[in-house]
Chain A
């Protein structure tokens, strides 16, 4: 079943008098629970497509359909709500909040997603999520004391603690070494399959491709 569609999306950047067409009418449908990897050379438009799909920037034309609604027509507040409740994000850098402990990072996400949960229930979910990402023993640690791999594990836990329908991952292993990259990808696969989360991932690392269910290659702003 299709969870998300991108229909004829175009994106043009204007720099002075120069216009650059980054996306030339992209069509994409993501199937529920599937991990889709977007690959392609630098400048092929894969990151732009991911950020438009995630509601982080507007398309110049086309539609992004999610649960029967067109994200491109939504007001800022509506998009924010979708991002908070239905989307999860893992970025190249972990981007954890420097003054919150590991446990508090997850609590923040639960609060932001406005999940109606009792305090105890939240605590229970955080504990089980930290167990899943094997970070329970570091729950009181601040990001500054975590290793790169640990930070990315926490970032993944933060991205899915509120059980989003879609996970957007922009080069989630780019800052990690090979061993840690594989660990992180295994974790993403395991968690998204367990929680039935649809994933769109941008990567340039071919070693990560076996973890995807579908691989889409982009070139010059088009899916090839």
Chain B
């Protein structure tokens, strides 16, 4: 007999309150997680979208790619050894459009590679967010460090770095603008283990993301909030079921006295927890995806299926642990205690 469901039906208000709290906490968690992912993509989509491999920078650069200079001989040697390796550089800057409006961008240039947009001298390929700023293919853009004009060749999706759209330019244009003949970084795709390359320090994709200024600080703060919310939801379950169980000690005692198994009582509590969490999660996932649609353009929000499923699973596990901890009372309750009490 579905006692768990019968109790929910009979005590709707109690369970609606718990469900609403779980819904609100999980909704907040999903939204913050979406914002964390969104900010992460806004900060480093250029790097995050690259395949697994190893990044290399000058070992004297103190893990700051801006200070890194890859020696030309080393670059040639690596290219010879790993033909699909790419040397690239990233520099913050700006472009000015025909209306004299300035737009912050991250200039990116690379050796010929499938991993980056390859552009000719005087051409520029921009992240699609620039199109939303009114820039069109064929528009002319300028920069005070560059003697010529950039012609917009096209747009690419999801290429952001340090919260600015990426602007792919040719190596020669880059060298002119930043008065350098050296690339900052080397990337060798498909390498699980770092090679020892003289004068260079290796970083995995994740380790390299952490070298991006503000990236780890930003992500750590948001992840801390997410974990805090997940723990709060677990505690809510524990406290709520504890209070409910305290109220039901007499009932549990009587049920045990007439022969109901302790595991049946646990099963009843677990099914209630699972049902409430599932309903709350379905609602919060729906609302967070709705939020994704109505969120202002300037708000980076990215809540993927994988994150949604991971967080949902985590909520269920935490709810299960919380409810189980509070359910220890069920195991302890003596039938006799209940009989000696009055009417429930």
In the complex, what residues of A have CB within 8 A of residue B260's CB? 84, 108, 112
The A-contacting residues of B in range 221-259, CB under 8 angstroms, are 250-251, 254-259
- A4 proximal to B (CB < 8 A): no
In the bound complex, what is the Cα–Cα distance between A104 and B342 (angstroms)? 22
Interface magnitude class on chain B: 20 to 34
Asked if B251 and A97 sit within 8 Å, CB to CB, the answer is yes
In the bound complex, what is the Cα–Cα distance between A91 and B259 (angstroms)? 15
- A16 proximal to B (CB < 8 A): no
A99 interface neighbour in B9, B256, B258, B261, Cβ under 8 Å = B9
In the complex with contacts A107-B1, A170-B339, A112-B10 CB distance below 8 A: no
Asked if A98 and B257 sit within 8 Å, CB to CB, the answer is no
In the complex, what residues of A have CB within 8 A of residue B344's CB? 93, 95, 98
Asked if B255 and A97 sit within 8 Å, CB to CB, the answer is yes
The A-contacting residues of B in range 252-309, CB under 8 angstroms, are 254-261
Asked if B336 and A84 sit within 8 Å, CB to CB, the answer is no
Q: Mark A161-174, 1 if CB is under 8 A from B, else 0.
A: 00000000010000
Asked if B3 and A100 sit within 8 Å, CB to CB, the answer is yes
In the bound complex, what is the Cα–Cα distance between A97 and B268 (angstroms)? 14
Q: A54: nearest residue on chain B (CB-CB)?
A: B257
- A66 proximal to B (CB < 8 A): no
Q: Mark B1-45, 1 if CB is under 8 A from A, else 0.
A: 101001101110000000000000000000000000000000000
The B-contacting residues of A in range 60-112, CB under 8 angstroms, are 80-81, 83-85, 87, 89, 91-95, 97-100, 104, 107-109, 111-112
Asked if B10 and A142 sit within 8 Å, CB to CB, the answer is yes
- B338 proximal to A (CB < 8 A): yes
Interface of B, helix, strand, loop or mixed by DSSP:
helix
- A195 proximal to B (CB < 8 A): no
In the complex, what residues of B have CB within 8 A of residue A24's CB? none
- B335 proximal to A (CB < 8 A): yes
Q: B260: nearest residue on chain A (CB-CB)?
A: A112
Asked if B335 and A56 sit within 8 Å, CB to CB, the answer is yes
B6 interface neighbour in A91, A94, A99, Cβ under 8 Å = A99
Q: A148: nearest residue on chain B (CB-CB)?
A: B343
State the 4 A-B residue pairs at the shortest beta-carbon distance, nearest first: A84-B259, A99-B10, A93-B343, A95-B254
Please list 10 pairs of residues, one from A and one from B, whose beta carbons are closer than 8 Å in the complex, sorted by A's number: A56-B336, A87-B259, A89-B258, A93-B344, A94-B343, A95-B344, A99-B6, A100-B6, A107-B1, A175-B343
Measured CB to CB, the residues of A under 8 A from B are: 51, 56-57, 80-81, 83-85, 87, 89, 91-95, 97-100, 104, 107-109, 111-113, 142, 158, 170, 175
Seed contacts A56-B339, A95-B338; 7 additional CB < 8 Å A-B pairs: A51-B336, A80-B261, A95-B343, A104-B1, A112-B258, A112-B260, A113-B259
